[in-house]
Amino acid sequence: MAITHVRPDDRLHLQSIASLFVAASKIVTVTGAGISTKAGIPDFRSRNGLYSLGHRRLFHSSVLSGPEGRPLFYSGITKMRKVVKLASPTRTHRFIASLRDAGKLVRDYTQNIDCLEEKAGLSTDLRKGPGSRSRLCRSRPRQVDCEPRLRDRGVECVLLHGSLRRLRCSNCFSTCCWDEDGREAKTLAGQEPPCPGCAELSEARTAAGKRATAIGTLRPDIVLYDEHDPRADSISAIARHDLLQRPDVLLIMGTSLATHGVKHLVRDFAKIVHRRAGKVVFVNLAEPARNWDGVIDYWVEWDCDTWVHDLTNRQPALCSGSMPRVRADSTGDGEHVNAMASPGYDRGQGSSRDNPIDLALS
């Protein structure tokens, strides 16, 4: 089915979409750089995006393959991090958090590495796992509502391509704080700090008269184009869990859907949403490619923040703090769906995509 093109003056369809969000109980969101541009963080592909400014190579794994590229990578990414640290969440980030507060959000998946979702109050720690919408409420089936604090929400926002918050060891893969022990000054100067975990282990061994072990170097905890994400299995497990929740709306915002992993993620969720007679809404200034026909139902050609503003004007109940909470145990009728086996949502899988990421960086 062809995609319905919704322009800012298309009141009828904008109202239909707003009603869709009021009625929905399980919403999955997928976001990209377009939701962070209002925070002062440029995207990648627009006229003033990072690629047009000559930063394309910074995000390809080849930048780490030669000695001349590594200092540029470390200093360039650190400069971007300094800008990101000063940025605040946009109206769109806050809208996603309000969907969470209303119990409507199954999960937010973002390609951005700016971590503005965390500043909006969404948890991003993958170790929390998928959580459970009904775990603590099943024993009280007549209870209309459950306090959010009683639910095991798990990780609320999945950072598909990592984040600029921490550094990761290339040897032991543990992460550590970027802001301690002068690490940020080192990476800004193009240097690669040593891993404190590896160093501690090696020192303990030598103190015990044993052979010293290798000490890894730290790198930004982001996933570059053509790289395997060490967290890929965890992300795939959460996505499989969410497919089984049978979401009724998929909302995609501020992304051109160019990366391989995200294409798969969106197609998998769209199949489940359509099986429930739900809708897939795509909010982006650029038109989706023709091969998204039958996947996307509505293309809202609008800036994300402005659309969110319009949406909450049409349905004030969708404003933060005023949405009635959805029952925590409203996870559908228990019907199982055939979730796609081992979907690969990381960017390390071979593909013909021509660029790495839709990350919001500056």
- The reply to whether 115 sits in an annotated binding site is no
Judged by CB under 5 A, the stretch of 1-9, 92-100, 212-220, 281-289 that binds Zn ion is 212-220
| Site for Zn ion contains 216 (CB under 5 A) | yes
Residues sharing a CB contact under 8 Å with residue 66, sequence separation 6 or more, in sequence order: none
From the list 27-35, 144-152, 188-196, 280-288, the region that binds Zn ion by CB under 5 A is: 188-196
Using a 10 angstrom Cβ sphere, with 0-12 exposed, 13-18 middle and 19 or more buried, the burial of residue 214 is exposed
Decide: 300 and 34 in contact? Cβ < 8 Å. Answer: no
Check the annotation: does 146 bind a ligand: no
List 97, 160, 198, 265, residue binding Zn ion (CB under 5 A): 198
Give the sign of the dihedral formed by CA 248, CA 7, CA 116, CA 54.
positive
Give the binding range for Zn ion (CB under 5 A) out of 13-21, 28-36, 211-219, 353-361: 211-219
90, 112 contact by CB (below 8 A): no
Examine residue 213 and tell whether it contacts Zn ion (CB under 5 A): no
Is residue 193 close enough to count as binding Zn ion by CB under 5 A? no
353 burial type by CB count under 10 A (0-12 exposed, 13-18 middle, 19+ buried): middle
Cβ(357)–Cβ(273) below 8 Å: no
Closest separation between CB of residue 6 and Zn ion, Å?
A: 49
How many Å separate Cα 264 from the centre of its chain? 14
Tell me the closest approach of the beta carbon of residue 74 to Zn ion, in angstroms. 17
64 near Zn ion (CB under 5 A) = no
Nearest to 347 by CA among 276, 269, 264: 264
Given the residues 5, 13, 93, 161, the one annotated as active site: 161
Tokens found for residue 337 = 């769906």
Both tokens of residue 160? 């598909």
Shortest Å, Cβ 78 to Zn ion: 20
Asked if 264 is an active-site residue, the reply is no
Using CB under 5 A as the binding rule, whether residue 80 contacts Zn ion is answered as no
Which is nearer to Zn ion, 162 or 197 (by Cβ)? 197
* Minimum CB distance to Zn ion, residue 53 (Å): 33
Q: For residue 137, say whether it is annotated as part of any ligand binding site.
A: no
Please give the residues from 123 up to 182 whose contact with Zn ion meets the rule CB under 5 A. Answer: 169, 171-172
| CB of 25 closer than 8 Å to CB of 104 | yes
> Considering the complex, what minimum distance in angstroms separates the CB of residue 171 from Zn ion?
5
Which residue lies nearer to Zn ion by CB, 215 or 250? 215
Q: Which of 32, 34, 76, 197 touches Zn ion (CB under 5 A)?
A: 197
- Rounded (5°) CA angle 161-241-361: 15
State the residue for tokens 């996307």: 296
Q: Is 48 helix (H, G, I), strand (E, B) or coil?
A: coil
Q: Is 169 annotated as a binding residue?
A: yes
**Residues that are catalytic:** 161
**Annotated binding site for Zn(2+), which residues?**
169, 172, 195, 198
Which residues are known binding-site members? 169, 172, 195, 198
Residues in contact with Zn ion by CB under 5 A are: 169, 171-172, 195, 197-198, 216
